[in-house]
């Protein structure tokens, strides 16, 4: 919406003279009235009054209005319009997520995988300006979602992700290498992998440290997350009767390896021992990796004094015509 402002607002103080001129005019009219004494004025009460007597002040009113318009025009009213241009330089982020069977452990509620999916979905929703990708791994690796701005598809794939989609195991090196391959040709201002696992590298053909060197070579920062409590965790086991019971199994997260991957690539290692802690970790990463947003605001000014000048001249012309035609006998 356009707004009105004045380039020379001090001229508006000139409007103070308008009420002074009106007072002067009223005083002058009273002073110029002539008086005659009559013994009986009832005769004059019956005489019709001319319409000119009612409108005799219109010439002065037109002049006052014209003067007001000229004073406003001198203040140079201007309309302004603002245009805002927003440039967003997003970040390319690939989530590399472990879907091995150990992700069914229930130390993160309801289990590690479901907790990771829920928190990752919130993370995706909170970054509309970034391209996202999803790589899943267990004993082998698979690119579930290549880099895309279609966050709806990303969320659907996260929702459908489950254990047992791939051969079991934990191929951290293959998973990281696959994520790096999706980012190596990216021209984004920042390239990030968030690798989440709950175990040690025990499968695959690529050493995790070698994969980290590849990430470093392409300028990719890797944040690593170890998901799971320390010691043991409840793991679902099927009973001979078809039911499920939980047994305590050792937690085998290789903190040293995940720490090294993060250090070598300029990232950071986190340990998530609860869903709440995992949420805090994603929030911290979200704050560290922000998109570059540049807002340029353009302001255009348009001179609006022309109508005031035109209407002021028109009122003066009308005043002049009325004074020298219809009201000539009154004003003389």
What are the structure tokens assigned to 267, written together? 């990232």
Residue 293: is its pLDDT beyond 70? no
Per DSSP, 164 falls in state T
d(CA 166, CA 196): 16
Residue 13, class by beta-carbon neighbours within 10 Å (0-12 exposed, 13-18 middle, 19+ buried)? Answer: exposed
Report pLDDT for 304.
86
Residue 279, class by beta-carbon neighbours within 10 Å (0-12 exposed, 13-18 middle, 19+ buried)? Answer: middle
The label of the residue with tokens 């009767």 reads: 241
**Which pTM value belongs to this model?**
0.65
Task: Tell me the C-alpha to C-alpha distance, in Å, between residue 36 and each of 33, 39, 40, 49, 167.
Answer: 10, 10, 12, 18, 121
Is residue 281 a contact partner of residue 271, using CB atoms and an 8 Å limit? no
Q: What is the pLDDT of residues 98-125, one digit of tens each?
A: 999 999 999 999 999 999 999 999 999 9
Q: What is the pLDDT of residues 148-164, one digit of tens each?
A: 999 999 999 999 999 99
Region 195-219 average pLDDT: 95
Average pLDDT, the chain: 87
Q: In degrees rounded to 5, what are phi and psi of residue 113?
A: -65, -50
Query: Would you place residue 290 in the very low, low, confident or very high pLDDT band (cuts 50, 70, 90)?
Result: confident
Query: Would you place residue 47 in the very low, low, confident or very high pLDDT band (cuts 50, 70, 90)?
Result: very low
Report pLDDT for 331.
47
Region 309-317 average pLDDT: 90
Q: Select, from the ranges 31-40, 114-123, 301-310, 314-323, the one with the highest average predicted confidence (pLDDT).
A: 114-123
d(CA 94, CA 193): 5
The label of the residue with tokens 């000139």 reads: 14
How many Cα atoms sit within 13 Å of 22 on the Cβ side? 11
d(CA 17, CA 242): 98
Rg (CA), the chain: 41
Report pLDDT for 23.
87
Is residue 75 a contact partner of residue 82, using CB atoms and an 8 Å limit? no
Strand, helix or coil for residue 14: helix
Residue 273: is its pLDDT beyond 90? yes
Report pLDDT for 105.
95
Query: Would you place residue 231 in the very low, low, confident or very high pLDDT band (cuts 50, 70, 90)?
Result: very high
Omega within 30 of 0 (cis) for the link into 197: no
Share of the chain above pLDDT 70, in %: 85
Query: Would you place residue 324 in the very low, low, confident or very high pLDDT band (cuts 50, 70, 90)?
Result: confident
Residues 6+ apart with CB under 8 A from 67: 17, 18, 21, 312
Region 67-88 average pLDDT: 80
Residue 298: is its pLDDT beyond 70? no
């Amino acid at each position: 919406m356009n707004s009105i402002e004045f380039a020379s607002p001090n001229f508006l103080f000139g409007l103070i003279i308008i009420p002074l001129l009106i007072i002067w005019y009223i005083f002058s009219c009273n002073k110029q009235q002539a008086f005659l004494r009559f013994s009986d004025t009832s005769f004059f009460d019956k005489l019709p009054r001319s319409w000119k007597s009612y409108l005799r002040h219109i010439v002065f009113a037109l002049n006052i209005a014209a003067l007001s318009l000229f004073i406003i025009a001198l203040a140079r009213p201007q309309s302004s319009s603002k245009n805002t241009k927003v440039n967003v330089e997003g970040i390319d982020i690939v989530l590399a997520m472990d879907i091995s069977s150990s992700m069914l452990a229930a130390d993160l509620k309801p289990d590690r995988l479901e907790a990771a999916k829920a928190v990752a979905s919130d993370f995706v929703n909170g970054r509309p300006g970034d391209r996202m990708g999803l790589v899943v791994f267990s004993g082998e690796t698979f690119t579930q979602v290549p880099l895309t701005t279609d966050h709806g598809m990303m969320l659907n794939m996260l929702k459908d992700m489950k254990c047992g989609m791939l051969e079991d195991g934990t191929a951290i090196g293959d998973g990281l290498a696959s994520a790096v391959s999706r980012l190596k040709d990216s021209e984004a201002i920042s390239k990030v992998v968030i690798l989440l696992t709950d175990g040690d590298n025990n499968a695959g053909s690529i050493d995790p440290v070698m994969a980290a060197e590849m990430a470093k070579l392409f300028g990719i920062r890797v944040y690593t997350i170890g998901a799971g409590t320390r010691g043991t965790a409840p793991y679902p086991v099927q009973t001979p009767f078809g039911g499920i019971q939980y047994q305590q199994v050792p937690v085998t997260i290789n903190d040293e390896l995940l720490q090294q991957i993060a250090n070598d690539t300029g990232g950071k290692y986190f340990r998530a021992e609860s869903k709440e802690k995992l949420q805090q970790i994603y929030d911290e990463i979200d704050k560290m990796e922000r998109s570059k947003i540049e807002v340029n605001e353009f302001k255009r000014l348009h001179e609006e004094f022309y109508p005031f000048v035109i209407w002021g001249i028109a009122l003066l012309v009308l005043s002049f015509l009325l004074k020298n035609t219809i009201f000539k006998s009154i004003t003389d």
